[in-house]
Amino acid sequence: MARTDPVFNLRMPLDMKDELAERAKRNGRSLNAEILQILEDSIAAEKTGFPAGDARELRRVIQMQNELIDGQKEMVSKLAETFSLAISKISNLSEQEREIEKATENKKPT
C-alpha cells in the first residue's frame, strides 16, 4: 500500500482486534492487510452475490480435499514401493526356481 493512500482510524472492541490479529497471523498477513482482505472479500461478495461465508466454507472444503489428496498421494507412493518390492521378490523366486530346475535336469540318475 502506498504512503499516499488515505489513513482511516478505526475503533473496535479489544476481543475483535485480538481475533483479527490471530487470523492475520494464521494467514501470514499484517493486521492491516488482514482487515483489507476481509473488506475486499466482503465487497467482492456483494458485487457477485456470492456470500463471503460461502467462500470461506468453500476454502475450508478445498483445504480438506487438498489434505485428502496429499494423503492419497502418500498412500499411492507407499503402494508403488510395496508393489516394486513384491515384483523384485517374485523375480528372485523365479530365478531361484530356474536354477533349481537346471540343477535337477543336470543331475544324473544313479
- Helix 14-27 with 31-48: angle, nearest 10 deg: 90
Specify the pLDDT at position 108: 63
Query: Is 90 exceeded by the pLDDT of residue 102?
Result: no
Cell numbers given for 50: 456470492
Query: Is 70 exceeded by the pLDDT of residue 109?
Result: no
Residue 26 CB neighbour total at 10 angstroms: 9
- Helix 31-48 with 52-106: angle, nearest 10 deg: 100
Confidence category of residue 11, pLDDT binned at 50, 70, 90: very high
Would you kindly state where each structural domain of the chain is located, as residue ranges? 12-50, 51-110
Specify the pLDDT at position 10: 92
Share of the chain above pLDDT 90, in %: 63
Encode pLDDT of 32-73 as tens digits.
Answer: 999 999 999 888 878 877 776 677 788 889 999 999 999 999
Confidence category of residue 82, pLDDT binned at 50, 70, 90: very high
The mean predicted confidence, pLDDT, of the chain is 89
Specify the pLDDT at position 110: 60
